[in-house]
Amino acid sequence: MQTRARFVWAQDGLWPGPIDFDDPRLLAHPIHIEFRRHNNSGLPLGELRKFIEDNNEVQVDAAATSHKEVMDLLMVGCDRATIDIFSRDKEIMLGHSVTEQVVLRIMLPNKVSLTYLTDTLYPRLTEIKSFGPNSALIISKRRGDLAYVLDKMPSTLRHSFSWWLAPDEGEIVPLRSNDHIAGWVLDGARMLGE
C-alpha cells in the first residue's frame, strides 16, 4: 500500500504551504497534485511537465471530465490522472480503453447521507465497473465521511475497484477492512514536516 503527499497546485507553489515547486523534500515522496479550477480554466501543462520531470511519481487530479484532458495529463508524464465519476460514459470509456493509468475520481458531497450512497454513488459505481477504470480515488470534505462510505459499501463494489483514499482528516483513518486499498493520499505539508 502506497502513501502519497497531497498538494493543491497554485501559482505561488504547492498548498498547504506554500511549498516551493523545487523543494528538495518533495523527492522523498510520491506526489498527488490537485488542481482546483474555476470556469474550466486551462492547466499549466508546461509548468506541470517540468515539475514532473524534477520529481518522482506524480499523480494528478484536475477534475477532468473528458478523455482528452486525461490524455493531456498523461502525455506530460504523470503516473496517473483522474476522470470524474459523473463524466459522460463515453469519455470514461475512451480514457480507460487507452490506458490503465486513468483513475475514477469521486468527490464526496459536503454532506454524505445513506440516500446519497444508495441512490447516487453505488448505482453509478455499479454502471462504471463494467466499462471503466479499475482504480478509484475517493476524496472527502468532512471528517468521518470517507470511512463511512467505505464501511457501508457493498462488498461486490468494494472488491470491483482498487481504492485510493484522500480523507479530509489528512491522515490514515481506521476502516473496517483494508481490502483493495491501493493507497492513501495524505496531507503533503504534514508529510514534509511543515
* CATH at residue 136: 3.20.20.70
**CA contacts within 13 A on the Cβ side of 180:** 18
Structural domain harbouring 87: 2-191
**How far is residue 85's CA from residue 64's CA, in Å, rounded to a whole number?**
10
3-state helix, strand, coil in the chain (%, to 5): 35, 25, 40
Total structural domains in the chain? 1
Q: Which three cell numbers stand for residue 169?
A: 482528516
Could you tell me whether strands 2-10 and 13-15 are parallel, antiparallel, or unpaired per DSSP bridges?
antiparallel
Q: Are 89 and 122 in contact (CB under 8 A)?
A: no
Cis geometry, peptide bond prior to residue 18 (ω within 30 degrees of 0) = yes
> What's this model's pTM, rounded to 2 decimal places?
0.94
Q: What is the pLDDT along the chain (194 residues), one digit of tens a residue?
A: 899 999 999 989 999 989 999 999 999 999 999 998 766 668 899 999 999 999 989 999 999 999 999 999 999 999 999 999 999 999 999 999 989 999 999 999 999 999 999 999 999 999 999 999 999 999 999 999 999 999 999 999 999 999 999 999 999 999 999 989 999 999 999 999 87
The C-alpha angle 167, 136, 118, rounded to 5 degrees, equals: 80
- Phi/psi zone of residue 180: left (φ > 0), alpha (ψ -120 to 50 degrees), beta? left
Q: Which three cell numbers stand for residue 130?
A: 463494467
pLDDT at position 84: 97
